[in-house]
């Protein structure tokens, strides 16, 4: 119960990494405020957490809208009386999205989350912000037969998340710690096109030194470390969970 008595807001909580973080944080004693644009999957997550004896509530919100982000931060405090942990995880990617859409969700969404959570966390005397960046925040990529690697907007947004993490860490210190996670390839709906297409799947396995995709639960464990007092002297830092992808 490493998060007993804490209240955690997780954006993009209905699926993949955000869902795994929400589940693990609830198991570790946090009350979870789960925000997403997918209502039915979000409500299903709440039922699952409650069945396991945890506390959680779902809020329908689009992180690319600043008022929605202000709203979820205020509702988190109203629902459970305080807010201790904010995980800016919501993200989109892959073909079919415009530059503007990807920047709005993956970069502006993180900015709004940091901007509006920080004063509340500081007012309470402390807290933690975790931003989900990516290996796409550290390097470009040459993906076979895919011009533009992860996508220019995705690369720009994820690099931007690292910059925001460093600046908000300075703004928040010493009360609020702000760190980022850079996952490598994780098997979630976001990467379905890659793990369902044999040549792309094989390429990920061959180029990841640990030889496989990560499970969302493995990224959630990194988030738990950053959310808990185990990382009490860590801020402005980047936790790379990529199976060795960026080692060469």
Ligand X SMILES: NC(=O)c1ccc[n+]([C@@H]2O[C@H](COP(=O)([O-])OP(=O)(O)OC[C@H]3O[C@@H](n4cnc5c(N)ncnc54)[C@H](O)[C@@H]3O)[C@@H](O)[C@H]2O)c1
Instruction: Say how many residues touch ligand X, by CB under 6 A.
Output: 28
The least CB distance from residue 54 to ligand X, in Å, is 19
Bond preceding residue 174 cis, omega within 30 of 0: yes
Please identify which residue in 57, 79, 134, 179 interacts with ligand X, judged by CB under 6 A. 134
Out of 113, 127, 183, 222, the residue judged to bind ligand X by CB under 6 A: 183
Residue closer to ligand X by CB (options 30, 220) is 220
What's the CA gap between 131 and 118, in Å, rounded? 13
State the Cα torsion 88-89-94-96 to the nearest 10°: -60
The verdict on 44 binding ligand X (CB under 6 A) reads no
> For strand 85-88 and strand 127-132, is the pairing parallel, antiparallel, or unpaired?
parallel
The residue within the footprint of ligand X, chosen from 57, 89, 179, 235 (CB under 6 A), is 89
Decide: helix, strand or coil at residue 38: coil
d(Cα 171, Cα 223) in Å, to the nearest integer? 21
Q: How far apart are CA 154 and CA 66, in angstroms?
A: 20
Q: Considering the rule CB under 6 A, would residue 191 count as an interface residue with ligand X? A: yes
Part of the chain binding ligand X (CB under 6 A), chosen from 44-52, 61-69, 71-79, 232-240: 61-69
**140 scored as a contact of ligand X (CB under 6 A):** no
Per CB under 6 A, the segment of 2-10, 31-39, 72-80, 230-238 that binds ligand X is 31-39
| Segment interacting with ligand X (CB under 6 A) among 7-15, 77-85, 111-119, 138-146 | 7-15
Range 139-164 burial, b when 16+ CB lie within 10 A, else e: eeeebeeeeeebbebbbbbbbbbbeb
Known catalytic membership, residue 111: no
Helices 66-80, 109-123: axis angle to 10 degrees equals 40
Work out which of 115, 190, 205, 237 binds ligand X, going by CB under 6 A: 190
Binding site for ligand X (CB under 6 A): 11-12, 14-18, 36-38, 62-64, 89-93, 105, 132, 134, 183, 185-186, 188-191
Catalytically active residues are: 154
């Amino acid at each position: 119960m490493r998060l007993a008595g804490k209240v955690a807001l997780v954006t993009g909580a209905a699926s993949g990494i955000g869902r795994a973080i929400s589940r693990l944080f609830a198991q570790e004693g946090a009350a979870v405020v789960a925000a997403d644009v997918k209502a039915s999957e979000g409500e299903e997550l709440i039922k699952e957490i409650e069945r396991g004896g945890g506390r959680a509530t779902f809020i329908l919100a689009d992180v690319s809208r600043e008022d929605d982000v202000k709203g979820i931060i205020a509702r988190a405090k109203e629902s459970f009386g305080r807010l201790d942990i904010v995980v800016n995880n919501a993200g989109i990617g892959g073909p079919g999205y415009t530059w503007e859409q990807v920047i709005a969700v993956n970069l502006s969404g993180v900015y709004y989350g940091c901007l509006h959570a920080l004063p509340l966390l500081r007012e309470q005397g402390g807290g933690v912000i975790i931003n989900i960046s990516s290996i796409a925040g550290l390097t470009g990529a040459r993906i076979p037969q895919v011009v533009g690697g992860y996508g220019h907007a995705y690369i720009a947004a994820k690099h931007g998340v690292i910059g925001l993490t460093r600046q908000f860490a300075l703004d928040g210190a010493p009360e609020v710690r702000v760190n980022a996670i850079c996952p490598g390839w994780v098997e979630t709906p976001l990467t379905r096109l890659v793990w369902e297409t044999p040549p792309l799947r094989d390429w990920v396995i061959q180029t990841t030194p640990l030889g496989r995709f990560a499970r969302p639960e493995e990224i959630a464990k990194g988030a738990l470390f950053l959310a808990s007092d185990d990382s009490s002297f860590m801020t402005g830092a980047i936790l790379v969970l990529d199976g060795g992808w960026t080692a060469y």
